[in-house]
């Protein structure tokens, strides 16, 4: 016995890896809340209200806004039903879909967004994380119940003039040191807004070229998005043309959708800075599955608007083709909020920029506001004052990322992991199981703690292993294999 004891001790001294506890593979558990997401009802009425019977021309020239709205209003007044279109191209400004109405846009029908901003009435809403006056979307569901937007027709925002407007304003604002406010001063219509509503279904539609974001789900619950295709890089690359933004909403299901855009593809948000902390509404109980991203900023993104918190999210069977980032977590030191309990599994990548990105100090020129020269507090627009109001106390602005679980992620990326917390807030408890990435740069981790992995493998195209850089001075409790 004595000999065996000393033999074992000598082996542990010679091979210290034998004495280290290997992390066990983890499996994302069953999450009961995932069975309570998505719309629970659909409009049941089958009476049809054809917009052409209300005066719509569908000739791509006549502005058909009033006729389409009249058909929706008549459908609502008679207890609900289906609003339909004869084949054609319908030029329109903002329309507002009401409770118990199904707006059916079939193949052969094209909804064309007006390129005149005056055709989008101003409303009080949240945009890019703060509440302010902003143009209505092309199609709006505002404070309604039991609504459906269906069909395999096309909704084209014709947003190119709004993209050009932003490009010109942005160059001017950057020269003046006002990068942080140009997105809010350059008013552009979203394609579709679902706000303050319950039991809404968006199914099968083709969407393209919004002036700003494509599909914004705000302050809503029990929403299903199913089989939507978004193409925003037609005739140019539209700035800020996010795909699907789920913003301070809950019980949301997104599935079978395919997005090519010029900003984040599938994105979760919860408010920005002082205003987002004031509203304090989380984004929670979200399922995203069987979806594809192509061009765009992130297959799956949390942030940068994190103020109200993002939690209890499951995404699986998702794929990224050429997307800038596959899995993205971003915030800033004035945002606040906690991103936690995020479960991601069965993810495929092909030629993405970065496989996993996490940062608490994202895009400083956009994220941080500074009092501009030549202005007084009283002379500034209200939304400027909102943006310039700091969190109080400042510690409320510190964001937190923790309890992130990634299982079964494979494919190719130029960088494996780019993770950087800051001294005030470490990236906590990221867990990886069966992550196999082909890359020439495994990446780096700093200001983090409690990271674990089992099967974290980076290889270059020749098959040789590539080392991940972990900053020992700013990390602790790291167990990566």
Which pLDDT belongs to residue 435? 96
Confidence of residue 373 (pLDDT cuts 50, 70, 90): confident
The total domain count for the chain is 1
This prediction has a pTM of: 0.95
pLDDT digits (tens, 9 = 90+) for 270-303: 999 999 999 999 999 999 999 999 999 999 999 9
Express each pLDDT in 318-349 by its tens digit. 999 999 999 999 999 999 999 999 999 999 99
Long-range contacts of residues 185-188, Cβ cutoff 8 Å, at least 24 apart: 185/381, 187/117, 187/134, 187/135, 188/135, 188/159, 188/162, 188/212, 188/240
Domain range spanning residue 165? 104-476
Q: Is residue 389 part of a domain?
A: yes
DSSP per residue, 212-238: S-SEEEES-EEEEEES-EEE--SSS--
- Residue 362, SS3 per DSSP: coil
Q: For residues 274 and 298, what is the distance between their CA atoms, to the nearest angstrom?
A: 25
pLDDT surpassing 80 at residue 19:
no
Asked if the structure places residue 59 within a domain, the reply is no
Q: Does residue 7 fall inside a structural domain?
A: no
Per-residue tokens: 466: 């590539």
Residue 213 within any structural domain of the chain: yes
Question: pLDDT grade, residue 23 (50/70/90)?
Answer: low
329 DSSP β-pair partners: 302, 358
What does the alpha-carbon distance between residue 109 and residue 59 come to, in Å, rounded to a whole number?
A: 11
Note whether residue 342 is domain-resident.
yes
| CATH code (residue 464) | 2.160.20.10
- Residue at 41 is within a domain: no
Residue 211, pLDDT > 60, answer yes
Predicted local distance difference test score (pLDDT) of residue 25: 62
Which pairing describes strands 95-96 and 206-208: parallel, antiparallel, or unpaired?
A: unpaired
Strands 154-156 and 448-449: unpaired
Residue 363 covered by a domain: yes
Q: Contact 188/212 with Cβ under 8 angstroms?
A: yes
In a domain, 98, yes or no: no
* Residue 24 in this model has a pLDDT that exceeds 60: no
């Amino acid at each position: 016995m004595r000999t065996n004891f000393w033999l074992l001790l000598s082996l542990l001294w010679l091979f210290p890896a034998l004495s280290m506890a290997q992390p066990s593979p983890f499996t994302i558990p069953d999450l009961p809340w995932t069975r309570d997401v998505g719309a629970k009802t659909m409009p049941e009425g089958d009476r049809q209200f054809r917009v052409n019977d209300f005066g719509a021309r569908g000739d791509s020239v006549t502005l058909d806004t009033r006729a389409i709205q009249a058909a929706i209003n008549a459908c609502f007044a008679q207890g609900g039903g289906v609003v339909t279109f004869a084949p054609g191209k319908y030029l329109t400004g903002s329309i507002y879909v009401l409770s118990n109405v199904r707006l059916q846009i079939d193949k052969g029908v094209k909804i064309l967004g007006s390129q005149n901003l005056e055709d989008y009435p101003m409303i009080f809403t949240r945009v890019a994380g703060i509440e302010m006056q902003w143009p209505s979307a092309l199609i709006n569901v505002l404070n309604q119940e039991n609504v459906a937007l269906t069909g395999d027709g096309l909704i084209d925002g014709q947003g190119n003039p709004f993209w050009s407007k932003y490009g010109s304003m942005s160059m001017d604002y950057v020269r003046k040191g006002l990068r942080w406010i140009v997105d809010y001063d350059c008013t552009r219509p979203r394609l579709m807004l679902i706000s303050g509503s319950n039991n809404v279904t968006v199914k099968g539609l083709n969407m393209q070229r919004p002036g700003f974001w494509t599909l914004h789900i705000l302050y809503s619950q029990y929403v299903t998005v199913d089989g939507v295709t978004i193409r925003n890089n037609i005739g140019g690359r539209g700035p800020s043309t996010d795909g699907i933004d789920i913003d301070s909403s809950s019980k949301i299901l997104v599935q079978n959708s395919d997005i090519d855009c010029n900003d984040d593809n599938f994105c979760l948000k919860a408010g920005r800075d002082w205003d987002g902390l004031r509203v304090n509404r989380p984004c929670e109980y979200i399922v995203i599955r069987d979806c594809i991203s192509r061009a765009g900023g992130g297959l799956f993104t949390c942030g940068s608007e994190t103020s109200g918190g993002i939690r209890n999210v499951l995404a699986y069977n998702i794929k990224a083709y050429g997307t800038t980032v596959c899995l993205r977590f971003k915030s800033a030191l004035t945002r606040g909020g906690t991103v936690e309990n995020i479960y991601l599994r069965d993810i495929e990548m092909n030629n993405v920029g970065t496989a996993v990105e996490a940062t608490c100090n994202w895009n400083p020129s956009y994220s941080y506001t500074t009092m501009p020269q030549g202005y007084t507090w009283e002379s500034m627009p209200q939304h400027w004052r909102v943006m310039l109001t700091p969190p109080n106390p400042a510690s409320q602005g510190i964001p937190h990322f923790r309890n992130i679980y990634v299982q079964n992620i494979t494919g190719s990326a130029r960088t494996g992991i780019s993770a950087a917390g800051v001294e005030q807030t470490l990236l906590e408890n990221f867990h990886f199981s069966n992550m196999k990435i082909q890359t020439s740069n495994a990446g780096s981790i700093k200001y983090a703690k409690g990271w674990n992995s089992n099967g974290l493998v980076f290889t270059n195209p020749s098959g040789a292993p590539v080392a991940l850089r972990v900053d020992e001075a700013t990390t602790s409790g790291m167990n990566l294999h």
